[in-house]
Amino acid sequence: MQHRLSNRISGIEKSATYDIFDMVRNLRTQGASILDLGGGEPDFSTPPHITEAAVAALSEGFTHYTPSRGIPELLEALSEKLAKDNGIHAEAVSDIIVTPSAKHALYICFLSVLDPGDEILVPTPSWVSYGAMAQLAGARPVPVPLAADQGFRLSRDRLERQVSGATKAIVVNTPNNPTGHVLDEDEARDIAEFAAAHDLFVISDEIYEKIRYGGARHLSPASLPSCADRTLTVNGFSKGYAMTGWRLGYVAGPAGVIGDVLKAQQHTVGCAGSFVQRGALAALTGPQEPVQDMADEYAARRKLVVDGLNALPGVSCSAPGGAFYAFADIRGTGFDDSAEFATWLLTTAGVAVTPGTAFGPGGEGHVRLSFATSRDVIEQALDRVGAALAARS
Ligand code: PMP
Ligand code: GLU
């Protein structure tokens, strides 16, 4: 058979982050010593009280389908969390859907909001999957270039330059992967005014909410009155609670929109895992100290990695306000091409990083180093990068 696949799937690239996961695994299988600063996943185990709640659910036979929206007690806990942490009013019965991963929440939002021919504004650099998800929905991702020397902030001007009659939505990510930028008040106001002026949906990805530094405040666009009825807020448990393998997220928004997004959930996955939702309930209602402890450890690693990078010849890196990535400018090393730099580093020094271009054209000249790994690995990796750069000069 001639396998002629859909234009939709042929038109997207594989995920750069998953490619790096696979590459690291393969090289290690072949015996190579690889220090992995590629993948963005906490090295911590899920706090035990969360795991115990899921195990108890399994043991008591809580192993069936749940309502598509999620179990009522988790929806209630999320409604309270959104009010308390985010200033978002979301009714448990109508305004929230629990999804198997934030990724799936984003996907069903994109599918629900975008038609073929529509455009969605995607800041660049930004996370690897927004553009592909837009394309899977038949829509066109339109890059909004951000500037490194302006701290990768969005502005009304930058947005106005890319908007057209076909623009339907804008995606925002705070704290940001890969830049670490945390949305500030002026920026949020700009986005809200812009979205209202052009009647756009705002899809706000807040998966790194719990990981912030130096007192940076988390601001949810949906908490702004002018944005509340046009914003879909996506969040999840992967990063803050170290629950990547559990695959649990959620989306909150106006009842009229969420009721329709639910159709995409019902017809694709049905519901999130039953016992996984019990774990998430324990995460939200149990002690929050483990979350703070992990965030404190990321803060120590952030200093280590940022100081270490700035001590390297030709490399500069500003301290991220949130998330667990350092987005380093490598243009002074003699490499202009970030993919070439990442390949060179992996093959000569055994250090895996993600090239900035994985995050769109706006990431060129940079590489992303994840510090969701131990201080020991970070120190060794910095030594290896330093030695490789020195040997080259
Ligand atoms: N958004 C961003 C910016 C991310 O980095 C990730 C990481 N995978 C996700 C969403 C998806 O998170 P989840 O594990 O819940 O699918
Ligand atoms: N979000 C993580 C990253 O950026 C995990 C991989 C992914 O989902 O893309 O590395």
> Residue 90's domain is classified under what CATH number?
3.40.640.10
> Is the residue at 56 inside a domain?
yes
Distance 387 CA to ligand 1 centre (A): 33
Residue 17 has pLDDT above 80, yes or no: yes
List, for residues 284-325, the tens digit of each pLDDT value: 999 999 999 999 999 999 999 999 999 999 999 999 999 999
List, for residues 256-293, the tens digit of each pLDDT value: 999 999 999 999 999 999 999 999 999 999 999 999 99
The reply to whether 225 and 311 lie within a common domain is no
Distance 79 CA to ligand 1 centre (A): 21
Residue 366 has pLDDT above 80, yes or no: yes
> Is the residue at 322 inside a domain?
yes
Burial class (CB in 10 A: 0-12, 13-18, 19+), 162: middle
Residue 336 has pLDDT above 90, yes or no: no
Confidence band for 130, pLDDT divided at 50, 70 and 90: very high
Query: Which of 234, 252, 285 is the last residue before a domain boundary?
Result: 285
The reply to whether 263 and 328 lie within a common domain is no
The reply to whether 266 and 133 lie within a common domain is yes
**Residue of the CA atom closest to atom 4 of ligand 2:** 40
List, for residues 28-84, the tens digit of each pLDDT value: 999 999 999 998 999 999 999 999 999 999 999 999 999 999 999 999 999 999 999
Domain total of the chain = 2
The reply to whether 82 and 105 lie within a common domain is yes
Distance between CA atoms of 371 and 92, rounded to whole angstroms? 35
The reply to whether 234 and 281 lie within a common domain is yes
The reply to whether 115 and 197 lie within a common domain is yes
Closest ligand by atom to 323 CA: 1
The reply to whether 328 and 353 lie within a common domain is yes
> Could you tell me the two tokens for 330?
């490598």
List, for residues 174-185, the tens digit of each pLDDT value: 999 999 999 999
> Could you tell me the two tokens for 200?
């756009």
Query: Which of 255, 285, 315 is the last residue before a domain boundary?
Result: 285
The reply to whether 186 and 224 lie within a common domain is yes
Distance between CA atoms of 222 and 202, rounded to whole angstroms? 9
> Is the residue at 1 inside a domain?
no
The reply to whether 212 and 280 lie within a common domain is yes
Give yes or no for residue 17 CB within 6 A of ligand 1.
no
Instruction: Average the pLDDT over each of 37-41, 106-110, 138-142 and give the range with the smallest value.
Output: 37-41
The reply to whether 235 and 303 lie within a common domain is no
> Residue 341's domain is classified under what CATH number?
3.90.1150.10
Of the candidates 324, 36, 38, the one whose C-alpha atom is nearest the C-alpha of residue 207 is 324
The reply to whether 242 and 257 lie within a common domain is yes
What is the predicted pLDDT for the residue at 30? 94
Buried b or exposed e, range 229-251, using 16+ CB within 10 angstroms: ebbbbbbbbbbbbbbbebbbbbb
Distance between CA atoms of 239 and 180, rounded to whole angstroms? 14
> Could you tell me the two tokens for 147?
């500037």
Which range marks the domain in which residue 326 is found?
Answer: 7-45+289-392
Burial class (CB in 10 A: 0-12, 13-18, 19+), 366: buried
User: In whole numbers, what is the pLDDT of the chain averaged over residues?
Assistant: 97
> Could you tell me the two tokens for 102?
């934030």
Distance between CA atoms of 287 and 47, rounded to whole angstroms? 10
pTM: 0.97
Query: Which of 263, 285, 307 is the last residue before a domain boundary?
Result: 285
> Is the residue at 183 inside a domain?
yes
Closest ligand by atom to 129 CA: 2
The reply to whether 272 and 354 lie within a common domain is no
Distance 214 CA to ligand 1 centre (A): 23
